[in-house]
Structure 1
Amino acid sequence: MVAPPPAATPTEAPTAPPSDQPTGSPSAGPSADPVAAAAVTALQGALGAEHAAVYGYGVVGARLPEDQQRTDARTAYAAHEARRDAWQRLIGSLGATPAAAAAGYQLPFAVTDAAGATKLAAHLETRLTTVYADLVAAVPGPQRGAAADALRDGALRAHRWGAADPAFPGIPEPLPTPTATIP
């Protein structure tokens, strides 16, 4: 990824929030519970990432030939729509208004052929693992299982699309620590 959420930065208004922040109100309603507010904010971020993934898979599918890869892209597209819808319902059940999708998204690179589409799909899924690792850390126990499932699903799809397999998907690799030498 080049910094935007799963493939994209909203292109709507010049005052759009940073790409890793949810669009829409993260408000948890009248409650001032900081844990609930943090969970809703993280859920809004996941919802925004799924909105961008759905958009991105539209681009992916348009650039793939009618073969197994396009079938895989359609399956991923449907999975992201279902996950997006589930987050919308959950956010609504917590008393917040689910963020709407942007009118369009800026892709992290040009996608002009099947190779670019495959690279974008790997990029989308890799970015989602980061979003979902953050979500696992932010939500309370009842929602943590769904967030962990989303993280696992994203990591598996990223692998299928050819992304590198990190030791802990969604968590950046630590920088190497210099080794001390004893004279």
Structure 2
Amino acid sequence: MSGELPDEAKTAVNAALDAENAAVWTYELVTAFVTRSQVQAAVAEATGVHEGHRDEVQRLISATGATPPAAAPAYSLPDRVTDEGSAIRALVVAERECAIGWRAVLENTAPGEVDPAVRRLALTALTTAATRATRWRITIGQDPAAEAQPGKP
């Protein structure tokens, strides 16, 4: 991708990157609280996916000649994480924040206005975040498990 992003797109892409950084941080935090092997495997897989999205958006930002914003040293969670259930609830929030960020990228870019790779990444990341949030909600028995409009604030 070359050239500058329009201001609205740049703001949305930077927010999506921040959400991905927060998700990586949250997934790494919850590893201390998940005990079931199936949940541990899902956490490890999701961490890798979020790291991949983070790395890709950093590359896309760099390709515009801009410097990607750095990750914060820590992120706030809405609730204290003390066990596997609260850890999974934190993951639902992280996935929802990613979905919000990536939906904003789609809403603030238009085909032909930005490199198609930006919109492909946004659609892929929104879809995986919404799917993963649904799986986590199912894991903790939250009803409804799926959001009607993923990423809508």
User: What residue is the counterpart of 2:151 in the other structure?
Assistant: 170
Which residue identity lines up with residue 15 of structure 2 in the other structure?
A: G
1:42 is matched with 12
Residues of 2 paired with 1:50 and 1:155: CA distance?
Answer: 13
Match of 2:80 in 1: 110
Structure 1 runs (4+) deviating above 2 angstroms are 35-38
Gap regions ≥5 residues in structure 1: 1-30, 173-183
Is the helix fraction higher in 1 or 2? 2
The normalised TM-score by structure 2 is 0.85
Question: Could you tell me how far 1:118 is from its partner in structure 2?
Answer: 1.0
1:120 Cα shift? 0.8
Of residues 42, 67, 76 in structure 2, which corresponds to 1:97? 67
Partner of 1:148: 123
Which structure has the greater CA radius of gyration?
Answer: 1
Q: In the alignment, residue 137 of structure 1 is paired with which amino acid?
A: E
- How many residues of Structure 1 are paired with residues of Structure 2 in the alignment? 140
The percent identity for this pair of structures is 38
Tell me the SS of whatever aligns to 1:100.
Answer: coil
Shift of 1:103: 1.2
The aligned residue for residue 157 of structure 1 is: 132
For 1:49 and 1:171, the matched residues in 2 are separated by: 14
Point out where structure 2 has 5 or more consecutive residues left out of the alignment: none
Q: Distance in 2 between matches of 1:159 and 1:138?
A: 25
Q: CA deviation at 1:37?
A: 2.7
Q: Distance in 1 between matches of 2:151 and 2:66?
A: 26
Q: Match for 2:49 among 75, 79, 83?
A: 79
After TM superposition, the score normalised by the length of structure 1 is: 0.72
C-alpha contact 1:61 1:70 (8 A) present in aligned 2: yes
2:53 and 2:121 in contact (8 A); partners too: no
CA offset digits 1:130-166 (Å, max 9, x no partner): 1111111112321222211111000000001016312
